[in-house]
Chains A and B, each alone.
Chain A
Amino acid sequence: DAKTTQPTSMDCAEGRAANLPCNHSTISGNEYVYWYRQIHSQGPQYIIHGLKNNETNEMASLIITEDRKSSTLILPHATLRDTAVYYCIVNNAGNMLTFGGGTRLMVKP
C-alpha cells in the first residue's frame, strides 16, 4: 500500500471548517483513500473513503486532487467532539489497513 504523509497536529476553531491534508504521491490507480479517526483509545471510527471522485457523507467531505497524489478531509463545522487523531490511509487489497501517525486535530472554543 502507498505511504501517506500528514501533518502531526492542527488546530481549528469551533464552528469553522477543519481541512485536514494528506499526501499520497505514490498512490496507484486501484488504491482507495480512506479516512478514520480515533478519540482517545476508542476503536477507530470510519469517516469516508474514495477512489477518484470527491465524496460527501453526513460526517465529512473528501476532496481528491485530479492526479490523486493528495487529498483533503473537510469537517464543515467542527465541534469540540471532533477533537481526535485523524488517519489517512491508502489501501489496495483491502486485507488490512496500515495506520500511520495521523493528524491530531484540536478543536478549540
Chain B
Amino acid sequence: AQSVTQPDIHITVSEGASLELRCNYSYGATPYLFWYVQSPGQGLQLLLKYFSGDTLVQGIKGFEAEFKRSQSSFNLRKPSVHWSDAAEYFCAVGDGMGNQGGKLIFGQGTELSVKP
C-alpha cells in the first residue's frame, strides 16, 4: 500500500537559516509527489510537484525539492527561511491512474516554527 512518512513532527529554525523537511514514500511504481503548505486555520496551498523529468523541482516562495528514487525520498528545502514560512507542511503521493483516479496519500505533516 502507498504511504508517506514525514519523520519530523515539529522543526524550529532561526530566521535566515536553511531548511530541509524530510519526506519518504512507499510506492511500487513511479510516484507523483507534492508538497503543500498550510497556515493555521486555512486550506492547503501547493508549493511544488514532481511528475517526471528533472529530479530537482522548483516551487513557489523560494522552495525546492529533490526526488531521489534510490532513497524513496522527496525532501523539501529552502536556503533562507523567513518568519512568514512558519506553517505546517504536508508531503503527498499519488498515482493519478486507474480507479484510484487522482487520490493522494498525505503524510502526517511537519510543523515549522521560525525563531527571530
Is this pair of chains taken from one and the same complex? no
B residues whose Cβ falls under 8 Å from a Cβ of A: none
